[in-house]
Amino acid sequence: MTKKRVNITVDPEVHEKAKQLGLNVSKVAENALRTMLGRLEEGADKENGPLFPDTESEKKPAARTAGKSTVEILEDYRGYARTALDRSQATVDQHLRYVSRLLKRTDKDPGRIGEQEIISYLEYEKPMSRSKHQNVVSALRVFFREYVGTEVAESFEVPTVGPNPTKVPTKEDLQTFYRYLNTAQYKAMFLMYATSGLRSGELRELEMENLDLDRRMLTPAKRSRTKKTWVSFYNFEAAGALKDFLPKRKSGDDRLFQVSKSELNQAFGRTSEKSGVKITAPKLRKWFASEMATLGVDSTYIDAFCGRTPDTVLEKHYLDFSPRRLEKIYKDAGITVLE
């Protein structure tokens, strides 16, 4: 639908305040106009009451949340976001943190919450970095649009956050860090991260059935609307470390590495302190992408190894991205960490 450009005049202080809070002035004006038109079409006028229903008595509770306590709403939204919206647990936890603060401050049914309550909440969260502002607004927009079924948060723009320069560790950094690792489990995980490009959770949740020892191929099972996976591989160094670790696996747990996120972070954190080199799983993923590019691998294939290639592309160009084709490209690159 083509939008019509119109000019409106507003008080400079009001406009500046709107900008500070991240309000989309054009969207706010359009929503207000829609509300007025709707009331007029229903026969409302000044004698019958205000055109903009801002009070709790004039707004109706949302059907999904009517009669529920804040605790019940948050718990219901948790399940809804994980299943219907297919959000990761980390994203759900972040959204719930900000939504719960808003609901507790307003003490209203979400269907009765208006833009002014959201503005007051954003003021409460200050000072905010641009990245936090982005996270807060994104959380509220998803909650109200997808769960509550209202557009009350759509007028708030999601601030753009400029890219930070990516600091990729050197191969020497990785070798220094590796020397301070003292268990077969974390040595194998370190080398698998560095030579596969998998996300942190993908490697931790990898099961034995997702592993082809003969081809050194990994097929992560986790897929979501935003995180795509395909296949990747690991090098001979990681294969040697994995061989040392496999006999030490415990029975009754199908996961390859049988470690939690907190345990991995703590182990890498301790090693970072001892070695003087800050290494995390995400940094190893960045190193993998950077190193493969240095080795001459085309960015489209690096994206495939890292799980950034859309399903539509994989389906349309399957021969280009077949496991056999990717296996050859990976082996030809000859990525190493310890040599």
pLDDT digits (tens, 9 = 90+) for 3-53: 666 667 767 766 676 666 666 667 667 666 666 666 555 554 444 444 444
Same domain, 179 and 217: yes
163 is a domain residue = no
What CA–CA distance (Å, rounded) separates 158 from 154? Answer: 9
pTM (2 d.p.)? 0.56
Same domain, 189 and 137: no
DSSP H or E segment with residue 232 = strand 232-233
The count of residues in the chain is 339
Same domain, 221 and 128: no
Same domain, 35 and 136: yes
Written as six digits, the tokens of 195 are: 């030579």
Question: Which residues sit opposite 233 in a β-bridge?
Answer: 217
Cβ(327)–Cβ(215) below 8 Å? yes
What CA–CA distance (Å, rounded) separates 126 from 156? Answer: 16
- Look at 1-15, 156-170, 255-269, 286-300 and tell me which has the smallest mean pLDDT: 1-15
Same domain, 110 and 181: no
Same domain, 143 and 175: no
157 is a domain residue = no
- Strand, helix or coil for residue 217: strand
Question: Which residues sit opposite 211 in a β-bridge?
Answer: 218
Same domain, 176 and 321: yes
Split into its structural domains, the chain has a count of: 2
Same domain, 192 and 95: no
pLDDT digits (tens, 9 = 90+) for 114-140: 998 999 899 888 888 888 888 999 999
What CA–CA distance (Å, rounded) separates 284 from 198? Answer: 9
58 is a domain residue = no
Cβ(220)–Cβ(202) below 8 Å? yes
Same domain, 121 and 240: no
The count of other CB atoms within 10 Å of the CB of residue 240 is 14
Kindly report the average pLDDT of the chain as a whole number.
84
45 is a domain residue = yes
Taking each helix axis from N to C terminus, what angle separates 261-275 and 171-179, rounded to the nearest 10 degrees? 100
Looking at residue 46, its pLDDT comes to 43
217 is a domain residue = yes
Same domain, 200 and 143: no
Same domain, 88 and 30: yes
Question: Which residues sit opposite 207 in a β-bridge?
Answer: 255
- The enclosing domain of 28 has a CATH number of 1.10.150.130
Residue, of 176 and 314, whose pLDDT is higher: 176
Taking each helix axis from N to C terminus, what angle separates 281-294 and 184-196, rounded to the nearest 10 degrees? 40
Written as six digits, the tokens of 25 are: 């002035």
Query: CB-based contacts of 226: which residues, under 8 Å, 6+ apart?
Result: 86, 88
DSSP H or E segment with residue 211 = strand 211-212
Cβ(224)–Cβ(238) below 8 Å? no
161 is a domain residue = no
What CA–CA distance (Å, rounded) separates 54 from 103? Answer: 17
What CA–CA distance (Å, rounded) separates 190 from 245? Answer: 12
Same domain, 114 and 244: no
- What residue numbers bound the domain in which 107 lies? 12-51+66-148
Residue listed under structure tokens 């939204």: 77
pLDDT digits (tens, 9 = 90+) for 64-122: 888 899 999 999 999 888 888 888 888 888 999 999 999 999 988 998 899 989 998 99
Looking at residue 232, its pLDDT comes to 96
What are the residue ranges of helices labelled H in 11-129?
12-20, 25-41, 70-83, 89-106, 115-125
19 is a domain residue = yes
Q: Which of 133, 148, 163 is the last residue of a domain?
A: 148
Residue, of 310 and 114, whose pLDDT is higher: 114
